[in-house]
A and B are shown apart, each in its own frame.
Chain A
Amino acid sequence: MTALPATSDAGRARVPVGRVVKLLVLIAIIVGIGWLAVVNLGAKQATEQLVNALTRGSIYALIAIGYTMVYGIIELINFAHGDMFMVGAFVSLSFLTQLGFTGAVTDLRLLIVLLVASFAVTMTVLALVGITIERLAYRPLRNAPRLAPLITAIGVSFILQNAVQLFYGPYQTNSPKIFPDTWTLQVGEATVPVLSIFIFVVAIGMMTALQLFIGRTRLGRAMRSTAADRDAASLMGVNINRTIAITFLIGSALAGAAGVVNGLNYGVARFDDGFQAGLKAFTAAVLGGIGNTVGAALGGFIIGFIEVGATAMGYARWGPAIVFGVLVIVLVFRPTGLLGQQLGERA
């Protein structure tokens, strides 16, 4: 699996000792934390928290991919991306509520149809919103200094939040939990909701599909080359505008999927959900190495673990502070992120 820009052949020829060591250290840390969790919380609690962390991590990972792709290709911190996730949650909840579903749907066939439909509708709507925003707010500023699109991104973020607030009010809106809570699996002593497994599978599935798309298709290659060197790519006949639009389309669609998943899992949505989630997802993207989609996914799961861990230890209110503390430490000691940043030295 490669990240956005292609890895160089020179790197592939060497034996990647550093990478193996890194991976081992990472595994050791994860095992260590897991062991601590089991000792402190007991196996039942630890398993349930693990599932919880994976669910939350899936959501962050799906959002983080959008950040990292956009940053990888046009070096813009797309502040509105977190709000796209929030919009996704609202599109999905309106869709389901409009169809008249408010509670659990136990008929498996109907449930599958509904889930597919709500993913399809939400992701399509979000993809459209994403490319519209790119066209109107970012493309005209592509060659302006980098502060300019950043400010428009903040502006778009305000617009999205306020628009949703106008329609749905400033309070939490209930999102139909169509996936039955009663469906659970017994894993040892722990009770694991099927929904969590579903979310994890959906997230991993989408990320794998994305990796295949970026790695194997013509458009994916266009994206990688645009990220590596826009000028050279355009000289080779890559349609830069279309490629960047597609990047936004994919990122926004994935944020929409994260919104759907979030609604199914937590059952509520609010107009300002996107800001915090976006910040954490961006942290995840940086943590994994910005521009690197695998890194973003990994970062998302790590952030999920950190947050759930903090909650389990009774520091729920400190969650965001701990996440940002981790971010600062990572940036100071390893500014390229865990998996290494896949950008050139140009910035």
Chain B
Amino acid sequence: MSAVTELPTRNPLKPAGRQRLREVSSRHRSLSIMVGIAIVGAVLPVLVFFPPFTLAQPTNAWIDGFTNAGVFVLLALGLNLVVGVAGLLDLGYAAFFAIGAYTYAYVLSPFGNSIIGIPIVQTLGSEGAGFLFWPMLLVGALVAATFGILLGAPTLRLRGDYLAIVTLGFGEIVPIVFLNSDLVTNGTNGIGGLSRPSLPIIGGFSAINPWPYYITMLVLVAVVMMLCYRLIESRLGRAWEAIREDELAAAANGINTVVAKLLAFALGASTAGIAGVFNASKLVTVSPDQFTFIVSFTVLAMVVLGGMGNFWGIAVGAFVIYTINNVLLKSLNQFFDATGIPILKDIDFIQLQFLLYGLALVAMMLLRPEGLFPNSRRQRELHTDVTLPEQDELGTAEGTTEEGQR
């Protein structure tokens, strides 16, 4: 037996297959994302035809819920560019979501048209106006990105924590402005009667049939994910990672940190803008209470729980959190009501939602700070950080290692 023949036997078939799959997927990243999303998109609806899921809610409600979860997946993907990749803590992300949604409302609702003074919906008719949904996705992204730059330009030179608080403030101001500018935003009630999207063959989307929205969302998630991957592997993406690791060193290596940070902010905001346009077109109404800080924090939690920097992990994290929040807790209620166990029956799990959520956040951070599906490089960073000082009772080992990265 020579060494040459021994080699293949040492690599069993399965890992070799996995290796090849990994190679192919990293060479054809966009294709593998498309295939991946297509598979997930096909499996989910099939899954909810079967018992444990059908007990919770009817299939159409599930599809509708998946679409809503998709909105959060988009948001999480966008925020990940800002927080996970570039390391800029943005706590007011919902503001850009709101800006995207209101942009759509101004262009595609009778009330919005009367404010901007161009009767778009009246001229095109409700279904005709729906075609504008597609270009509006871009417009929403552009408007949100503009606001991202407007907010970022004066504030991005601030230190990390100040950036966090300014974005938090911005996230509070935007809903307040929409709430209080009654004349142009209709205040608390928001703007209703938005047009639903239309497509040439299937016509206008409707509230009864969740499928067109679902498919659109799958396409959007796939496209955004592809763009994200391309960005990460580009010069800009490497610049972002360098800034996250050590801003000073990045600047010393010739990266224009201000431009790179602004672009991270703008691109993150534009993703939120897209999500906002989609969400507005689906709910056919926008109001300030859809965009509270809870949205910002939830999306941040999704990014952190999913594993910062890893797009698939974040998509899964967002999806899981959304489903737990909106489906599982409700069905737990029904389930325990049905069992009739005295104490469990009386617990209202929806009331407990934020308690459980808070506990989950704390537990997650304590047990697995790198998230469920961490980016491998990030995991390495985290683990050297966490283990080093623990060996040292005086805590003298910490300090310099984690200072630069945020």
A154 part of interface (Cβ distance < 8 Å): yes
A29 part of interface (Cβ distance < 8 Å): no
Binds A, one of B39-47, B134-142, B163-171: B163-171
Cα A275 to Cα B361 with chains together (Å): 18
Cα A151 to Cα B317 with chains together (Å): 15
Task: Given A145-B405, A154-B361, A331-B155, answer yes or no on A321-B355 (Cβ-Cβ < 8 Å).
Answer: no
Minimum Cβ distance to chain A for residue B398 (Å) = 4
With most chain B CB atoms within 10 A of its CB, the pick from A155, A275, A325 is A155
In the complex the two chains form, is B362's CB within 8 Å of A148's CB? no
When distances are taken between beta carbons in the complex, the residues of chain B under 8 Å from A165 are 351
In the complex, residue of chain B having the shortest beta-carbon distance to the beta carbon of A335: B158
When distances are taken between beta carbons in the complex, the residues of chain B under 8 Å from A198 are none
In the complex the two chains form, is B396's CB within 8 Å of A162's CB? no
Task: Given A75-B161, A144-B369, A240-B395, answer yes or no on A159-B385 (Cβ-Cβ < 8 Å).
Answer: no
The answer, among A162, A235, A320, A331, for a CB contact under 8 Å with B166, is A331
With most chain B CB atoms within 10 A of its CB, the pick from A162, A235, A279 is A162
In the complex the two chains form, is B365's CB within 8 Å of A324's CB? no
Binds A, one of B173-181, B224-232, B328-336: B173-181
When distances are taken between beta carbons in the complex, the residues of chain A under 8 Å from B385 are 143-145
A: interface residue count bin: 35 or more
In the complex the two chains form, is A162's CB within 8 Å of B366's CB? no
The answer, among B165, B353, B388, B394, for a CB contact under 8 Å with A234, is B394
When distances are taken between beta carbons in the complex, the residues of chain A under 8 Å from B395 are 142-143, 230-231, 234, 240
Task: Given A157-B358, A158-B361, A331-B155, answer yes or no on A320-B172 (Cβ-Cβ < 8 Å).
Answer: yes
With most chain B CB atoms within 10 A of its CB, the pick from A142, A275, A331 is A331
Minimum Cβ distance to chain A for residue B383 (Å) = 10
When distances are taken between beta carbons in the complex, the residues of chain B under 8 Å from A282 are 165
When distances are taken between beta carbons in the complex, the residues of chain B under 8 Å from A144 are 365, 369, 382, 385-386, 402
Chain B residues with a Cβ closer than 8 Å to the other chain, count: 58
Cα A147 to Cα B297 with chains together (Å): 13
Cα A44 to Cα B398 with chains together (Å): 58
A304 part of interface (Cβ distance < 8 Å): no
Minimum Cβ distance to chain A for residue B93 (Å) = 13
Minimum Cβ distance to chain B for residue A5 (Å) = 16
In the complex, residue of chain B having the shortest beta-carbon distance to the beta carbon of A318: B180
Minimum Cβ distance to chain B for residue A103 (Å) = 31
In the complex the two chains form, is B365's CB within 8 Å of A145's CB? no
The answer, among B154, B297, B402, for a CB contact under 8 Å with A154, is B297
Task: Given A159-B358, A320-B172, A321-B177, answer yes or no on A147-B351 (Cβ-Cβ < 8 Å).
Answer: no
7 pairs from A and B in contact (CB 8 Å cutoff): A71-B161, A141-B369, A145-B402, A145-B405, A150-B164, A162-B358, A321-B177
- Extra contacts, 17 of them, besides A137-B365, A144-B369, A347-B160 (Cβ < 8 A), are A137-B362, A145-B369, A148-B304, A151-B364, A155-B358, A156-B358, A156-B362, A157-B358, A159-B355, A162-B354, A162-B358, A235-B394, A286-B165, A324-B169, A331-B158, A332-B155, A347-B159
